[in-house]
Amino acid sequence: MSTIVGIILGLILISSSILSGGGYQIFLNLDALMIVVGGTLAATLISYPFYRVINFFILFLKLFKEQSNKQLELVLIHLAELGQKAFQDSVFCLEEEIKQEKNYYIRVGMKLLVNDTPTQHIIHRYQSEADGIRGRHKEGIQLFSFMGRIAPSFGLVGTLIGLINMLRGIGATVSPETLGPSMAVALVTTLYGAFLAFFIFIPASEKLKTYSEQELIILNVVKDAMIMIKNGESGRDIGEMLQAYLPEKNRRVVMQKILK
């Protein structure tokens, strides 16, 4: 939701500023758009493998999938329930829960527990998963960051091309009366480059960093829970320990749900 609200709010404010200045026609230039978008895409293809550039569109759509602030709470409650089942019976009773489990990291942990995997191996497995998360997200973050750096540069290239063409025509097709409007058109490419960089690419990079941090927190919660379940701790003990990952104001509500 925040992504959509941010885009809509930004477009409204920028559009209002453009319209209040006397019209939008001068800000619409197909050649300028082709230079900025085409140049940024070409530089990205040169710098990164083709498959990563294709993944750009998938990553961009992911930005609109808002991470629920309740997700961590739900995972914590679910882990406490699994811990209580294992506490009342044994970790082997979780075997029938594996097929129904939707969370990949919890499913991995349940398999490790059922197979009586040593604690150190469980820690190592989740460390490998954490490294994988960082690696996957780093690719997207780097891609958006690169595009955020390169788009203003191609905006400047377009402006220089426009200025060269404008100055070359002075005395022939360009007169002092048309010099100002012509220069304004040349500067539109710089505006396009800055807009794409600071409104799309750089915010997208920061958003992916946030998603990466959220996923790592959930992974750590699952890892800690699996170790506690293996050590034979109750669902209440698991909940009390893992609530440290939650804001203080949410802890009482979560514990009430665990103790039901």
The string of pLDDT tens digits covering residues 143-190 is: 899 999 999 999 998 888 888 877 776 655 555 656 666 677 778 889
- Phi first, then psi, for residue 174 (nearest 5°) are -110, 130
Question: b/e string for 92-107 if b means 16 or more Cβ within 10 A?
Answer: eebeebeeebebebbb
In this structure, what token pair is assigned to residue 6? Answer: 């941010």
Which of 11-25, 62-76, 131-145, 177-191: highest mean pLDDT? 131-145
| pLDDT of 18 | 74
Long-range contacts of 118-122 (CB under 8 A, 24+ apart): 119/227, 119/230, 119/231, 122/223, 122/226, 122/227, 122/230
Give the rounded distance of the alpha carbon of 233 from its chain centre.
Answer: 35
Residues 121 and 160 sit within 8 Å (Cβ to Cβ): no
Residues 76 and 243 sit within 8 Å (Cβ to Cβ): yes
How large is the average pLDDT for residues 32-38?
89
| pLDDT of 66 | 60
| pLDDT of 20 | 78
Residues 40 and 56 sit within 8 Å (Cβ to Cβ): no
Distances (CA, A) of 27 to 11, 31, 54, 137, 178: 14, 11, 29, 35, 16
Longest dimension (CA), the chain: 92
Cα gap 42→128, rounded to integer Å: 34
- Write the pLDDT tens digit of every residue in 187-222: 888 999 999 999 889 988 888 888 889 899 999 999
Q: How many distinct helices (H) and strands (E) make up the chain?
A: 10, 0
Amino acid at 174: V
Nearest to 208 by CA among 148, 143, 145, 140: 140
pTM of the model: 0.79
DSSP 3-state assignment of 89?
coil
Could you report how far apart the first and last alpha carbons of the chain are, in Å? Answer: 32
Cα gap 216→91, rounded to integer Å: 25
What is the DSSP secondary structure assignment for residue 149, as one 8-state letter?
Answer: H
Residues 83 and 227 sit within 8 Å (Cβ to Cβ): no
Cα gap 178→166, rounded to integer Å: 10
Q: Report domain extents, the chain.
A: 1-65+72-260
DSSP 3-state assignment of 42?
helix
| pLDDT of 136 | 84
| pLDDT of 80 | 92
Mean of per-residue pLDDT scores for the chain? 85
